Copies of this chain bind each other. A is one copy, B any other.
């Protein structure tokens, strides 16, 4: 077995989670991720935890067949709920045999199923949990990479010195935590400002997402003004939205367009009121993620990018007394900041063309 798989497993069990003897753990994975499941089981055996391995119910052949055959009246299964209620920790390993496996499932059918699964997801979120990616060939294909190159990409992004990364990111957290207002400028297509005053900034390293590598906070929902062109594709339910452009007034999207699949963008924005406002501003700081791979777990942490999400804000990023944006959706979209771009905080440039104020080579 590739030694990087054991390193990956150890990070999940000992760093992202801190699994202890006697902990009841659920490992959710697709068959194609078996190598990492084996390494995780080894690590769990070593600490004396109790694993149950469950097939993921997203995206595989079995769930496709199930969803196509079902009449659509889904319920929340009692036995799965009982399993999750009694569990202490959750390791969710993403990997696909075919990323378009559910492309011929009626999206409404899928959405009704996910709705019925929602209480189980919510219950899981009350425990320790971590989400990661195994570099399966189909995921390499989505990233337009060879399997070996994609393996290198994934494990470079995952198996790193997370203490060092945390310190690096903490410098940006410190800047944002005291800030009132953030302005993002890129070329002549993006110039947007938002208030973040009193909203905490989180330092995401090796915890709920492996890899981590972003710092993120919530804009105040009514405060966003300006326009943004998202350079990177938005990949939603198997469809790619290109050149998504949003114009904000008083926090609300008042104009939008896209060069491809604009209707998908419209659909997202029309989900509910909160879907037309920002719920997150994130700064990607994992420089081992140096390319876009159509996988938000990696893309949003890419070095030299920022992302904004329309929809739901994370509770932990909303300060006491501030409004939390509510929505059924949370869709991240990415702006490339590597050229002709800057992040300003309270009028001071803190990043220019991807280089932070606290790094060598920064030019104010």
Q: Which residues of A contact B (CB under 8 A)?
A: 22, 24, 26, 31, 34, 37-46, 48, 50-55, 57, 61-63, 65-71, 73, 75, 77-88
CA distance A287 to B51 in the complex (A): 41
A86, chain B: closest CB distance, angstroms: 4
Tell which of A34, A45, A78, A85 has the most Cβ of chain B within 10 Å. Answer: A45
Query: Nearest residue in B to A40 (C-beta to C-beta)?
Result: B62
Check A38 against B50 for contact (C-beta < 8 Å). Answer: no
- A63: which B residues are within 8 A, CB to CB? 41
CA distance A42 to B52 in the complex (A): 23
13 contacts between A and B (CB under 8 A): A22-B75, A24-B77, A31-B34, A37-B55, A40-B62, A44-B66, A52-B80, A53-B55, A53-B62, A79-B83, A79-B88, A81-B86, A82-B82
- A46: which B residues are within 8 A, CB to CB? 69-70
A266, chain B: closest CB distance, angstroms: 31
- A39: which B residues are within 8 A, CB to CB? 65
The one of B50, B62, B75 in contact with A41, judged by C-beta atoms closer than 8 angstroms, is B62
CA distance A26 to B75 in the complex (A): 16
CA distance A75 to B48 in the complex (A): 9
Given A52-B83, A83-B83: A45 in contact with B66 (beta carbons within 8 A): yes
CA distance A86 to B42 in the complex (A): 28
Query: Nearest residue in B to A52 (C-beta to C-beta)?
Result: B80
Check A42 against B54 for contact (C-beta < 8 Å). Answer: no
The one of B22, B51, B66, B80 in contact with A42, judged by C-beta atoms closer than 8 angstroms, is B66
Query: Nearest residue in B to A36 (C-beta to C-beta)?
Result: B62
Query: Nearest residue in B to A35 (C-beta to C-beta)?
Result: B61
- A42: which B residues are within 8 A, CB to CB? 65-66, 68-69
Given A61-B34, A66-B42: A71 in contact with B54 (beta carbons within 8 A): no
